[in-house]
Structure 1
Amino acid sequence: MIFKQLIIALSLMFLASCKTNTLNLAKIEGKQIPVSEEIIPDPTITDFIKPYHDHVVKTLDSVLAYAPESYLKTNGTYNTAIGNLMADIVYEQCNPIFKSRSGYDIDFVILNHGGIRAPISKGDITLKTAYEVMPFENSIVVASIKGKNVNEAMQYLSQAKRPHPVSQLKLVINSDFDITEAKVKGETIDENKTYYVATNDYLYNGGDHMTFFQPNDSLYVLNYKWRNALIDYFTKVDTIKPVIDDRFIQLK
C-alpha cells in the first residue's frame, strides 16, 4: 500500500515538472535594409539565376513585327490609331474562334482607353512590347446583348468623351455630344435584335462603368487573353499600319 502511494506521488511530481510555461511576446525588433547598388550580389545566387534571366530577356526581345511610326493613345480625340488597332486585332483574332464555337459572327468590339498601358514605339515590335501595352491578364469574352443595350453603349461612348477603342462601329456626335449617327457594321441599330459584342472580362463585369453588358442573353468565354491576341497578330504580320479614321468622330 505504501509502495503504491509512493508511485502515485512520484507520478504527480513528474507531471508537475513537465508543465509548459506560457510564453508571451515581449518585444519585436527590426531594421531597414535599403536596396541599392551598394549591396554586393551573392555570386552563388546570380550564377544560379543567370540562365533563366538570359532566356527571359532573349524571349522578350524577340522581334514579332515592325512599327513605321510611334503610336500613342493620346494621339486622337475620339479614336486613336493604337486604339483602333487594338480593337481591330480583337475582332480579327477572336471572330474565327467565336464563329467556330457558336456559329455567329462578332458584331462589334468595345475596349477601354485606359487598358492600353504603353505606346507602340517606332521600330521593332517585340514580345516585350505586347507585355508593356497589355500587362494585365484580361481575357476576351463575347456577350450577346439586345439592341437596347447597344444604344446604351453608344450613349456611354458619346458622354465618356474618351477614345475608347471600338471596331465595326460607326458613331457620330455633334458639338453638344448628341448622337447623330450610330451603326453596327453599317446598319442602323435594331433594339430588338441580338448583338454579339467582344470585350474583356474586366469591362464585362462593369469596369469603367460599362454597365450596358447587363442584362444579357448569354456569355461566351473564349479563354483567349487580350495580350495573346496581340502577340498572335504581331506574329503573323510584317508591318502594322494603324490609322485614325471616322469610326467615332465629333462634328463641329
Structure 2
Amino acid sequence: MNYKHLCFFFCLILLSSCKQEVHLNKIEGQQINISDSLEIDQTIEDFVKPYREHVNKNLDSVLAYAVDTYTKSDGDYNTAIGNMMADAVYEQSNPIFKNRTGEDIDFVLLNHGGIRAIISKGNVTTRTAYEVMPFDNSTVVVKLKGAQVKELIDYLVKAKRAHPISKLNIVLDSDGNFKSAGLNGQALDFDKTYNVATNDYLYNGGDRMDFFKTNDSLYILDYKVRNVLIDYFKKIDTLNPVIDNRFIQLKN
C-alpha cells in the first residue's frame, strides 16, 4: 500500500468514527445526607470559631425593645410592621436625599412580600433586621410624574394588600372602590411630579410595579433597607408601631 492509499485508508476510518452516535441511557447518583453525624474537621472548626463568635456577637447586639409581636398579617390594608418599615425608610433617607438635592421625599412605597419575618416582643437585635430584610435591597428615590403616581394608586387599590406606605393616604369606599388619595392632608395633584422612595427591586419592576419604569430621574442613596432598619432601631430605643388610617376602607 503506497502513501496515498494509506492516507485514504486513515481518512475513511476517521470519517466513519465521526458518524458514530453516543446515546445516554441513564444517570446514576447517590444521595449523601448531611447531618451532625458527619465528622468535624477540628482544624477547620478551630479556624472558623473566632469568626463565628464575632459575627454572632454582632448579630445578637440589642438595638431596641419591641413592646409587642408584629407580623405582616396583622392588618388588611396596612400593618404595624409595614408602617414601621416605610416610616423608617422616610425618616432615615429623607435627610440624605435633601442634603444631596435640596428636595424632600414626598412618600414611600415598599412591598408587602419584602417583609420576611416577624418582630417578636422583647429585645430587637441586629439579627432581627437581617431576618426581616435578608435581601440586599437598597433605597432609591424616583421622580414620578402625576400619570405614574395615578398608576401607583390604581395598583394599590386593585391589589388591596398591605404594601407599606408612608406619608401617603388612600381611602376606599365601602365597596372597595377608590375614593381619595392625599399627601400631608392635601389631595394628590396628578399634574405634579413627586419624589417617591422605594427599593431597587421594585424600581426594576418587582411585584409588577411597572409604573416605576417611566420616571424623570433616579437617585441611588447607597443605603440598604436592612441598614435603614438597624439605624432606625438604634435611634428609637422602643419599638411600638401601630395600624393607622394611612390606607383604609370605609365601613359605610
CA-CA distance at 1:125 after TM superposition: 0.3
Give 2:55's aligned residue: 56
Residue 227 of structure 2 corresponds to 228
1:100-150 Cα distance to aligned partner (Å, 9 max, x none): 001100000000000000010000000000000000000000000112211
Q: Which structure has the greater CA radius of gyration? A: 1
Amino acid paired to 1:201: D
User: Given the two structures, how large is their TM-score scaled by the length of structure 2?
Assistant: 0.87
- Give the drift of 1:176: 2.8
RMSD: 1.7
Name structure 2 gaps, 5 residues minimum.
1-26
Q: Give matches, 1:134-173, under 5 Å.
A: 134-173=133-172
SS in 2 for 1:233: helix
Residues 66-122 of structure 1: CA deviation (Å, up to 9, x unaligned) = 001000000001000000000000000000000000110000000000000001000
Deviates more, 1:209-218 or 1:92-101: 209-218
Q: TM-score, normalised by structure 1?
A: 0.87
1:199 corresponds in structure 2 to 198
Is the Cα contact below 8 Å between 1:169 and 1:186 reproduced in 2?
no
Dislocated runs of 4+, deviation >6 Å: none
- 1:39 aligns to what SS in structure 2? coil
Residue 177 (structure 1) shift: 2.3
Identify the residue that residue 176 of structure 1 maps to in structure 2.
175
Report the 3-state secondary structure (helix = DSSP H, G, I; strand = E; otherwise coil) of the residue aligned with 1:131: helix
Letter in 1 for 2:67: P
For 1:165 and 1:173, the matched residues in 2 are separated by 16
- Once the two structures are TM-superposed, the CA of residue 48 in structure 1 deviates from its matched residue by 1.1
Extract unaligned runs of 5+ from structure 1.
Answer: 1-27
Q: How much identity, in percent, do the aligned residues show?
A: 64
Specify the SS of the correspondent of 1:90.
Answer: helix
> Hey, what's the Cα distance between the residues in 2 that align with 1:107 and 1:148?
16
CA distance in 2, matches of 1:191, 1:53: 52
Which letter does structure 2 place at the counterpart of 1:91? Answer: Y
- 2:179 and 2:28 map into 1 onto residues whose CA distance is 67
Q: Cα deviation per residue 1:196-230 (whole Å; 9 max; x = unaligned)?
A: 00000010111111111231111111011000000
Letter in 1 for 2:194: Y
* Aligned AA (1:134): M
Partner of 1:73: 72
Match status 1:242 vs 2:246: no
Structure 1 distance, partners of 2:127, 2:149, is: 35
Q: By how many angstroms is 1:29 displaced?
A: 8.0
User: Could you say which residue in structure 2 is the equivalent of 1:34?
Assistant: 33
